């Protein structure tokens, strides 16, 4: 990849000037404004600053040692010490030709594979998956796909919420009010009803609350009947989750629910107590601040009435029970032992930020030697068009299965309007792809940390940065080949067949070259939206190219060259969409 070549040469040049310099952070990035070049580096300014050198002087010295004449025009120094690179057309053509020969698709597999555990989706037993879980599922799946594509080892783990105090109430409900017929029809719906029923009656009647507590204790103690019911609740819920995962095309390597870690919880707590990381407070066991970070950054402190006060993490309740945090500590330890990951990524909504800050900080004190990178990849809320949390008209949480049904129905209308002639079964299949993609893309495309407004019209629109637009762009490229009625001519001898004479061809070609760079940025910052933006721009560049450069009607060598360029565009679009978890269709 050209950016890689530039980076290597640049690093060599820096070492020639400063033999002891650490050059790992000397990177090039696409130039924000193509007026100034194709790639740019600002890294020399950081090196100069560190060594109290004049940045422009350093840039001049490095430039004198830099040899990139084979791939770049004259390199320019700009501003306070930027270097701007404009790549030669011949270098672009060489890279395209190699891609056309199938040697690469503008990205490189890493030569330093990491192992990453990606913890995502993680819905709760007996509760419907809600829009927050779908966002976690979609983001997590995409991150896992990109990591894999770049050659990393990935363990996807669905940390199902299958343990906790809710089971006391659920057991009371199940034993006294279960409607078997309703359970057959909609298991999670029925369990949710039971939970809500007991939840509200126990508010008025302490005896029911007490009964729920007793059932919970029995379950925790391994009572056979309660365990059996609990297993059934899990199986029924898992079945419903699996239906959703099937529709979304999401698979997990591991499904280790919270209960899996029960055997270790006691040990974890004992260990934390023995190491003085946790201490007793009002009969409970808690982790407090150790004062090692500034108050503002300390997750164990909170500001109240202008004063910093303790905000401890509870790891054992005063009744001896363990909680979400205890389980997460045990989970972390298990994952480290089992897979030796170099990173663990947790994808949940932003409301769990404090939990993960406390978790990570407790873990660092507990295992100071561990090098694993821990990342909480959090996201904002999904809002209705009224700007309030996304709910059904009657104020209920929106069920995922209903949401996906509606997406497919609405997409069916879009597809039917466009292709009234197409047989219904085909329209249905395309609508399935378009509908599911639209929902996924709406989750992936915005900056994940901002809230976004869920709008059917927007996400299903054929215009704008949407899945239907990209899927349609893909079918347009592919249709050229149906018309050409011939496979692509891959340039046989070197790059002799490729010509980039028009500026729209060159812009498109140069954009293709940046695919790998964008994929790497996605896993660096855990932001699939970078890839969405890249693909949207790619589709735009292709549209301009296709408008201004005839393909099938062009004379040779332009015809073959443009066919090759179109084919590479289609391949990058397809691969890019695939790692967003989006299926493509040949016709739309």
**Residues near ligand ARG (CB under 6 A):** 119, 122-124, 159, 161, 328, 331, 346, 348
Give 115 or 575: the residue with its C-beta nearer to ligand ARG. 115
Alpha-carbon separation of residue 389 from 209, 380, 444 (angstroms): 30, 11, 18
Alpha-carbon separation of residue 182 from 123, 187, 189, 477 (angstroms): 21, 7, 8, 49
Contacts of 447 (CB under 8 A, 6+ apart): 527, 529
Give 9 or 376: the residue with its C-beta nearer to ligand ARG. 376
DSSP 508-523: HHHHHHTHHHHHHHHH
Q: Kindly state the smallest distance separating residue 328's Cβ from ligand ARG, in Å.
A: 5
Q: In degrees, to the nearest 5, what angle opens at C-alpha 160 toward C-alphas 157 and 161?
A: 150
Q: Kindly state the smallest distance separating residue 64's Cβ from ligand ARG, in Å.
A: 53
Give 124 or 240: the residue with its C-beta nearer to ligand ARG. 124
Nearest C-alpha neighbor of 439 from the set 141, 158, 135: 135
Instruction: Find where tokens 């672009």 sit.
Output: 92
Q: Kindly state the smallest distance separating residue 139's Cβ from ligand ARG, in Å.
A: 13
Tokens of 575: 């691969």
The DSSP 8-state label assigned to residue 259 in this structure reads G
H helix or E strand, kind and range, residue 346:
strand 343-349
Give 168 or 516: the residue with its C-beta nearer to ligand ARG. 168
Bridge partners (DSSP) listed for residue 345: 118, 375
H helix or E strand, kind and range, residue 108:
none
Q: How far apart are CA 51 and CA 55, in angstroms?
A: 10
Q: Kindly state the smallest distance separating residue 344's Cβ from ligand ARG, in Å.
A: 9
Q: Kindly state the smallest distance separating residue 124's Cβ from ligand ARG, in Å.
A: 5
Q: Kindly state the smallest distance separating residue 161's Cβ from ligand ARG, in Å.
A: 4
Number of H helices and number of E strands within the chain? Answer: 21, 15
Q: In degrees, to the nearest 5, what angle opens at C-alpha 456 toward C-alphas 451 and 458?
A: 75
Give 350 or 557: the residue with its C-beta nearer to ligand ARG. 350
Q: Kindly state the smallest distance separating residue 472's Cβ from ligand ARG, in Å.
A: 35
> Beta 76-78 vs 82-85: how paired, if at all?
antiparallel
- Sign, Cα dihedral of 234, 236, 239, 245: negative
Q: Kindly state the smallest distance separating residue 235's Cβ from ligand ARG, in Å.
A: 18
Give 68 or 117: the residue with its C-beta nearer to ligand ARG. 117
Q: Kindly state the smallest distance separating residue 120's Cβ from ligand ARG, in Å.
A: 8
Give 256 or 488: the residue with its C-beta nearer to ligand ARG. 256
H helix or E strand, kind and range, residue 219:
helix 206-220
Q: Kindly state the smallest distance separating residue 523's Cβ from ligand ARG, in Å.
A: 19
Give 136 or 466: the residue with its C-beta nearer to ligand ARG. 136
Give 214 or 351: the residue with its C-beta nearer to ligand ARG. 351
Q: Kindly state the smallest distance separating residue 317's Cβ from ligand ARG, in Å.
A: 18
Instruction: Give the distance between the most distant pair of CA atoms in the chain.
Output: 86
Give 360 or 530: the residue with its C-beta nearer to ligand ARG. 360
Q: Kindly state the smallest distance separating residue 127's Cβ from ligand ARG, in Å.
A: 8
Q: How far apart are CA 199 and CA 166, in angstroms?
A: 9
List alpha helices for 393-466, DSSP H: 400-418, 424-444, 456-459
Give 118 or 439: the residue with its C-beta nearer to ligand ARG. 118
Q: How far apart are CA 126 and CA 187, in angstroms?
A: 8
Contacts of 107 (CB under 8 A, 6+ apart): 1, 149, 150, 515, 516, 519, 520
Q: How far apart are CA 579 and CA 149, in angstroms?
A: 8
Tokens of 47: 């090196």
549-578: b or e for each residue (b if 16 or more CB lie within 10 Å)? bebeeeeeebbbbbbbbbbbbbbbbbbbbe
Give 166 or 569: the residue with its C-beta nearer to ligand ARG. 166
Give 166 or 584: the residue with its C-beta nearer to ligand ARG. 166
Q: Kindly state the smallest distance separating residue 338's Cβ from ligand ARG, in Å.
A: 15
The answer to whether the CB of 409 falls within 8 A of the CB of 435 is yes
Nearest C-alpha neighbor of 140 from the set 282, 29, 253: 253
């Amino acid at each position: 990849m050209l950016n890689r070549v530039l980076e290597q040469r640049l690093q060599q040049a820096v070492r020639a000037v400063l033999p002891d310099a650490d050059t790992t952070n000397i990177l090039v990035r696409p130039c924000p404004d193509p007026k100034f070049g194709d790639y740019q580096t600002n890294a020399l300014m950081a090196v100069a600053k560190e060594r109290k050198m004049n940045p422009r002087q350093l840039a001049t010295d490095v430039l004198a040692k830099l040899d990139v004449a084979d791939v770049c025009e004259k390199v320019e120094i700009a501003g306070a010490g930027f270097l701007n690179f404009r790549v030669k057309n011949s270098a672009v053509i060489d890279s395209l030709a190699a891609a056309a020969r199938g040697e690469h698709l503008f990205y490189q597999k890493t030569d330093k594979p990491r192992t990453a555990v990606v913890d995502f989706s993680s819905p709760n037993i007996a509760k419907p998956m809600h829009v927050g879980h779908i966002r976690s599922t979609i983001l997590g799946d995409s991150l896992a796909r990109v990591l894999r594509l770049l050659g990393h080892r990935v363990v996807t783990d669905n940390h199902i919420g299958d343990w906790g105090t809710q089971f006391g109430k659920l057991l009371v409900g199940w034993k006294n009010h279960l409607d078997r017929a309703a359970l057959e029809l909609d298991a999670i719906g029925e369990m949710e009803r039971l939970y809500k029923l007991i939840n509200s009656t126990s508010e008025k009647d302490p005896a029911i609350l007490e009964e729920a507590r007793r059932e919970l204790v029995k379950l925790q103690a391994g009572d056979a009947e309660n365990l059996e019911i609990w297993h059934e609740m899990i199986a029924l819920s898992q079945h419903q989750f699996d239906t959703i995962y099937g529709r979304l095309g999401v698979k997990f390597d591991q499904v280790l629910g919270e209960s899996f870690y029960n055997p270790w919880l006691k040990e974890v707590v004992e260990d934390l107590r023995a190491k003085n990381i946790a201490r007793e407070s009002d009969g409970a066991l808690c982790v407090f601040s150790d004062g090692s970070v500034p108050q503002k950054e300390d997750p164990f402190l909170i500001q109240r009435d202008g004063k910093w006060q303790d905000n401890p993490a509870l790891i054992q309740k005063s009744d001896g029970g363990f909680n979400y945090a205890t389980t997460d500590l045990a989970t972390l330890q298990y994952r480290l032992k089992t897979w030796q990951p170099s990173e663990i990524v947790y994808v949940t909504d932003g409301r769990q930020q404090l939990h993960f800050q406390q978790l990570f900080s407790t873990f660092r004190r507990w295992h100071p030697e561990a090098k694993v990178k821990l990342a909480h990849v959090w996201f904002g809320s999904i809002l209705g068009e009224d700007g309030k949390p996304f709910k059904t008209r009657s104020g209920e949480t929106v069920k995922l299965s209903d949401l996906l049904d509606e997406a497919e129905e609405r997409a069916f209308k879009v597809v039917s309007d466009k292709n009234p002639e197409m047989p219904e079964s085909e329209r249905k299949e395309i609508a399935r792809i378009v509908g599911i993609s639209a929902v996924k893309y709406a989750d992936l495309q915005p900056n994940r940390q901002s809230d976004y407004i869920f709008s059917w019209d927007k996400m299903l629109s054929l215009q704008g940065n949407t899945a239907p637009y990209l899927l349609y762009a893909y079918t347009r490229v592919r249709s050229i080949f149906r018309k050409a009625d011939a496979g692509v001519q891959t340039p046989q001898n070197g790059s002799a067949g490729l010509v980039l004479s028009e500026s729209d061809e060159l812009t498109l070609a140069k954009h293709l070259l940046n695919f790998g760079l964008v994929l790497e940025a996605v896993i660096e910052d855990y932001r699939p939206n970078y890839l969405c933006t890249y693909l949207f721009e790619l589709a735009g560049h292709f549209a301009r190219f296709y408008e201004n450069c005839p393909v099938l009607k062009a004379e040779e060598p332009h015809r073959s060259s443009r066919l090759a360029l179109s084919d590479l565009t289609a391949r990058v679009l397809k691969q890019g969409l695939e790692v967003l978890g989006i299926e493509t269709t040949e016709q739309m």
